Amino acid sequence: MKKPAKPARENISPSDLTFGLSTCKRCLWVKYWYKVSAPMVMPLVGTLSSLQEEFFQRADMPTIDPSLRPGTVTKWSEFVKSKPLQINGQDTRWRILGKYDLLSTNDDGTTGLIDCKVSDSQRDSGAFYSPQLEAYAYALENPAAGKAVTVASMGLLVWKPTHTVGEGSANSGFGVAQKYVAVERDHDNFMRVITDFIDVLEGELPDAGSDCETCRFLSARNALDNL
């Protein structure tokens, strides 16, 4: 596969810092140079996230978690785009572009960033999602346009379905256990991750991984065409 003169997209999605680098990097490279991605089948994810975000619009931050600075959720589901990312003091062609879930305006003028999840995964840890949230923070603190803000706190707001509630077909639902997982600011780690990420993108097409179900399926499927 030849590398085009220019990438098909130069905006890095924050979620690719969580999931893209942890597996094979070949599909990541193809996504940015050719804008071709494997289709994702995630029924209900969008609906559940919207319901959860809606629930916290205009929420008082300390009611979400007592550790949070006094403030109110004032923005939600907005795109943020950064200035060009700098590596070793030099502008690259790459920027961060993503849509955050919740943003607070704190009484002291700072901002709190919250990423909502409906999940029962063991990996909902601050360390796992740190580069993704730092990417949003980078875009908010270094915006392509508009006023920069200071992100004083970042965290995951996790809803884990645990039981059923209500009675009858019109009034039943899932009950959840809610937890707020604070994510420590770690700009140095973000810079390490984003530097690796850009190195992968600027390099040649990486080899395919050895244990990817999708790649195994594609190889088996393509072999059938040659029978």
Q: Which is nearer to ligand SF4, 20 or 98 (CB)?
A: 20
**Minimal distance in Å, beta carbon 194 to ligand SF4?**
20
Alpha carbon distance 217, 198 (integer Å): 28
Give 186-194 contacts, CB < 8 A, sequence gap 24+: 186/130, 186/134, 187/134, 187/138, 189/130, 189/131, 189/134, 190/130, 190/131, 190/134, 190/135, 190/138, 193/17, 193/21, 193/131, 194/12, 194/17, 194/85, 194/87, 194/131, 194/135
Size of the site for ligand SF4 (CB under 6 A): 9
> Under rule CB under 6 A, which residues in 14-73 are in contact with ligand SF4?
23-24, 26-27
**Minimal distance in Å, beta carbon 39 to ligand SF4?**
12
**Minimal distance in Å, beta carbon 28 to ligand SF4?**
8
Beta-strand pair 172-183/151-166: antiparallel
**Minimal distance in Å, beta carbon 12 to ligand SF4?**
17
Q: Which is nearer to ligand SF4, 37 or 164 (CB)?
A: 37
Q: Which is nearer to ligand SF4, 23 or 172 (CB)?
A: 23
Spell out, one character per residue from 198 to 227, where the chain touches ligand SF4: x when CB under 6 A holds, - when not.
----------xx--x-xx------------
- 170 CB-contact burial (10 Å; exposed 0-12 / middle 13-18 / buried 19+): exposed
Residues lying near ligand SF4 in the complex (CB under 6 A) are found at 23-24, 26-27, 208-209, 212, 214-215
